[in-house]
Amino acid sequence: QSVLTQSPSASGTPGQRVTISCSGSNSNIETYIVNWYQQLPGTAPKLLIYSNNKRPSGVPDRFSGSKSGTSASLAISGLQSEDEADYFCAAWDDSLNGPVFGGGTKLTVL
Amino acid sequence: QVQLVQSGAEVKKPGASVKVSCKASGYTFSDYGISWVRQAPGQGLEWMGWISPYKGNPKYALELQGRVTMTMDTSTSTAYMELRSLKSDDTAVYYCARTIFGVVIGANWFDPWGQGTLVTVSS
């Protein structure tokens, strides 16, 4: 059972906008920044969003992050087939005294 | 470019130890930390701990304390993770990741990641 809660799956058609949510508590998301990682099939995770809403160099502006209270969201606009991947949120947690991850959301592009 | 290259797959028996290496290139190794994250088959990501030349002692996940040791060799830009008393539950892909620490407390992120090392624990 992950400390941060994500829906196991999400889907959309090419060109659509999809949102992936991440729910936590006042000991993690509400207090600390949220990061998002993308894991393409059979590969290592890749940093997608850091510090709630910042994109590393090379990440398309189709990807955006936001945070409000104890929840965070990752939005993907102009969905493309290559966006099919697992997406994980992460944040520091006071109770565990370390970074924690969500269980991951598998995004399918129909 | 910044790159982390990990050692190859390992098969171990229960009770044994495993040591995974992670060689960095493309940046000043001592300017960043290295975290270790594992992923059991079909499962999510689990942070195991990190080590940084400028943040003092390594920091380990509570549930792994006593079984894990993380070290860095700045002369070869290589980080190591040793896990002892292996159990079948330790079967996973183990990733190293360069760790960036922000100025705000609790701010840290992992970029990039190594390619992963599969550790299989089986009798």
Residue B48 has pLDDT above 90, yes or no: yes
Identify the burial level of B121 via C-beta atoms within 10 angstroms of its C-beta, where 0-12 means exposed, 13-18 middle and 19 or more buried: buried
pLDDT digits (tens, 9 = 90+) for B15-39: 999 999 999 999 999 999 999 999 9
pLDDT of residue B55: 72
Residue that wins the pLDDT comparison between B106 and B27: B27
User: How far is B19 from chain A, CA to nearest CA, in Å?
Assistant: 19
Residue B70 has pLDDT above 90, yes or no: yes
Inter-chain touch B107–A99, beta carbons under 8 Å: no
In the structure, what pLDDT confidence band is assigned to residue B104 with cuts at 50, 70 and 90?
A: confident
pLDDT of residue A58: 96
* Core vs surface per residue A43-63: b (16+ CB within 10 A) or e: ebbbbbbbbbeebeeebeeeb
pLDDT of residue A1: 79
- Strand B10-12 relative to strand B117-121: parallel, antiparallel, unpaired? parallel
Residue B101 structure tokens:
């620490």
What gap in Å lies between CA B55 and CA A7, rounded to an integer? 35
What gap in Å lies between CA A41 and CA A53, rounded to an integer? 24
- Sequence-ordered list of residues with C-beta below 8 angstroms from that of B75, at least 6 positions apart, any chain: none
Q: Is residue A49 within 8 Å of A35, Cβ to Cβ?
A: yes
User: How far is B48 from chain A, CA to nearest CA, in Å?
Assistant: 9
Q: What percent of chain B has pLDDT over 70?
A: 100
Residues of B in contact with A57 (CB under 8 A): none
What gap in Å lies between CA A93 and CA A101, rounded to an integer? 10
pLDDT of residue B106: 87
pLDDT of residue B28: 95
* Core vs surface per residue B79-100: b (16+ CB within 10 A) or e: bbbebeebeeebbbbbbbbbbb
pLDDT of residue B54: 76
Residue B53 has pLDDT above 90, yes or no: no
Residue that wins the pLDDT comparison between B105 and B26: B26
Residues of chain A with confidence (pLDDT) below 70: none
Range list of β-strands (E), B1-123: 3-6, 10-12, 18-25, 33-39, 46-51, 59-60, 68-73, 78-83, 92-101, 108-113, 117-121
Q: In terms of CA atoms, which chain A residue is nearest residue B112? A: A46
Residues of A in contact with B110 (CB under 8 A): 35, 37, 45, 47
Residue B102 has pLDDT above 90, yes or no: no
Mean predicted lDDT score pLDDT of chain B = 95
